A and B are shown apart, each in its own frame.
Chain A
Amino acid sequence: MIPDLHTLKALDIAEGIRGGKVTSAEVFSYFNRRSQSAQSRHNVFVALCPQAATAQASSAGNALTGVPIAIKDNICIEGQEITCGSRILKGYIPAYDATVIRKLKEHGLSFIGITNMDEFAFGSSTETSCYGPTLNPWDRSRVPGGSSGGSAAAVALGCAPVALGSDTGGSIRQPASFCGVVGMKPTYGRVSRYGLVAFGSSLDQIGPFSRSIEDCASVLTVISGHDPLDSTSAPEPVPDFSAFLRDDIRGIRVGLPKEYFMEGLHPQVNRRIQDVITFLRDKGAVVREVSLPHTPYAVAVYYIIGTAEASSNLARFEGVKYGARVRADNLIEQYKKTRGAGFGKEAKRRILLGTYSLSSGYYDAYYLKGLKVRTLIKKDFDEVFKNTDVILTPTAPTPAFRVKEKVDDPLSMYLSDIYTISANLAGLPAVSLPCGFSEEQMPIGVQFMGKQFDEGTLLRVGYAYQKATDWHTRFPAEIV
């Protein structure tokens, strides 16, 4: 048995299993024990998985075989209840595996638990879950970010070396930043969305959480690829992303969009970001200021498109075929009562906003307008990427905020995603890496955005950064 398994990379744990130093059963029970302990203090999971789902015999040779992974509560695992943090889906048992789950199983990973999330991924703090909020691993009076707050906290607390989340407007990267771990949103279409409960279908993407960029690359390699079951998945070849991990970034062109460094950026966040910039320059990267002039409109565009798509996608939750049903004498009343009782406030708010912007007389003024401004935002990126390899920004304007600080002020909550939303609107890959701490010892994240299907360059820059820093190896003091 290897001590302190949680401090190891997923790749090293798998190597330990292959080399006979530890068994996959020992690994599972080690992380299961940590998960139970973390659960009581941080409410990370909605369910812990039994060991039955562990490594399949056929996969003995893979790089991640035997590694436990935590899965967000909106990705279908056959036979495992999934709720998206909502009362309306209580009791729903998927009849099939999401494509990413099938791939993880084929590679011999085991599922440690189902992680808490904002209801239907609507939120930036994991406070809108019907299971109650997840608390930040570094300070229980603060949020872990969201919507994939449970997955980020699971990795930060060492409940699992890796996790999956989903990112529609920052839901992987912002919690990664708040919890001090790595979180990547791949290019739109890179990873199949089959079996992911849809929120904003033109924005959603599944991606990994980890501590090391090597683990991020390994999980990404496993889950990526075209899928005939998801017609929006891209028929692009999938490289072995580990091959991009070279400690050499000389000549890489890094853009700093000036619109991301204006008023509203917390000075301590800015200081840590400036340290990263200095590091990149010292390593031979070519750093220069760039402009993404339509950045100020991104949040407004997102809350048109995201809510419109959500209102359409969530029409299926009406208590007819699955989930909770509130009975009534006629069908329309049954829909209304079921949805009125089943959805929480934020889900209702977003469905109503989306219904408003799609309703007769408003479509052109809101939805179509939003899609047109989306074009302008995407063109900004196309222009910058003509002579830039990666764009560097803060992941979030502040470190993790307090529990309940923003929950009654939706617009202020929406604005906490201001730096992450544009990558979804433009379909770009983006990663958040831990880059230091605030004076109050809260983690801070740096975001790199890349060209479509160029996750490799993000991983390369991240690897060089992690080679020289140890932020990603830190654990919260109150760890179990």
Chain B
Amino acid sequence: MRARNLEHRARRLGPVSQVTTSCPLYGSVVSLYAMKDYREIVHYVAHLARIELSAEEEALFAPQFQKIIGYIDTLNTLDTADIEPTFNVIALKNVLREDVPHKNEAYQKIISNFPQKEGNYCVIPKVIE
């Protein structure tokens, strides 16, 4: 929600900076947000993605996000209102199979990959207080 509010605020403010990228097939692109907004966006999505970022990484990613998202926003010049999305490029639909149980002979090898274990159990920090 926080990022969404950010977006609304940024749109009210209007375009605040412009980034020109050298694309062989595409001209200049206009960026929508101020840099401090990108810093907040990076911080917020890092939380969603469960990745701890250092302050240096946030500072590095913010201007890169501005440039990349600005470039991606060039898609908005296309009207796609009546276009169906393509989820899968080959004509496969509802791939089903018989539900036949089989014994997995490899389970000990899977267990041996656990970073922390007790017997055949994978140990994680306590989840329920």
Contacts and interface: CB of A to CB of B under 8 A. Distances in A.
Interface of A: 78, 91-93, 95-96, 187-189, 202, 228, 231-232, 234, 259, 262-265, 294-297, 299-301, 303-304, 311, 315, 318-325, 327-332, 334-337, 339-341, 343, 345, 348-349, 351-353, 355-357, 359-362, 366, 368-376, 378, 397, 410-412, 414-415, 418, 425-427, 452
B92 interface: yes
B51 A330 contact: no
B125 A328 contact: yes
Interface string B63-84: 0110111011011101010011
Nearest to B54: A340
Interface in B79-129: 80, 83-90, 92, 95, 97, 106-107, 109-110, 112-116, 122, 124-127
Contacts of A295: 25
| Dominant SS among interface residues on chain A | helix
A325 B115 contact: yes
B35 interface: no
Interface residues of B, number: 61
Contacts, number: 204
The 4 closest A-B pairs by CB, nearest first: A264-B24, A427-B89, A340-B52, A371-B85
A299 B21 CA distance: 13
Nearest to A189: B90
A339 B69 CA distance: 23
Contacts of A375: 83-86
Contacts of A355: 45, 48-49
Contacts of B53: 340, 348
Chain B interface, DSSP helix/strand/loop, else mixed: loop
B74 A349 contact: no
A52 to B, nearest CB: 17
A480 to B, nearest CB: 36
A372 B75 CA distance: 10
B71 A411 contact: yes
A301 B75 contact: yes
B23 A202 contact: no
A327 B54 CA distance: 18
A323 B115 contact: yes
Nearest to B84: A375
B125 A330 contact: yes
A352 B41 CA distance: 9
B68 A297 contact: no
Given A331-B124, A427-B90, A372 B49 contact: no
Contacts of A96: 106
Contacts of A332: 50
Contact of B46 (A296, A352, A360, A411): A352
Contacts of B87: 202, 371
A393 to B, nearest CB: 12
Nearest to A336: B52
A93 B24 contact: no
Given A340-B52, A349-B61, A373-B75, A397 B80 contact: no
Contacts of B48: 355, 359
Contacts of B95: 231-232
Kindly name the residue among B87, B113, B122 whose own CB sees the greatest number of chain A CB atoms within 10 A. Answer: B113
Contact of B7 (A341, A361, A410): A361
A372 B85 contact: yes
B80 A410 contact: no
Contact of A378 (B67, B89, B126): B89
A170 B125 CA distance: 40
Given A264-B24, A318-B50, A360 B4 contact: yes
A371 B52 contact: no
Contacts of A232: 88, 90, 92, 95
A321 B113 contact: yes
B41 A356 contact: yes
A397 B24 contact: yes
Contacts of B114: 321-322
B80 A376 contact: yes
A372 B35 CA distance: 29
Contact of B51 (A299, A322, A348, A372): A348
A330 B126 contact: yes
B74 A361 contact: no
7 contacts: A202-B87, A202-B89, A262-B25, A265-B24, A301-B75, A324-B115, A360-B4
B49 A351 contact: yes
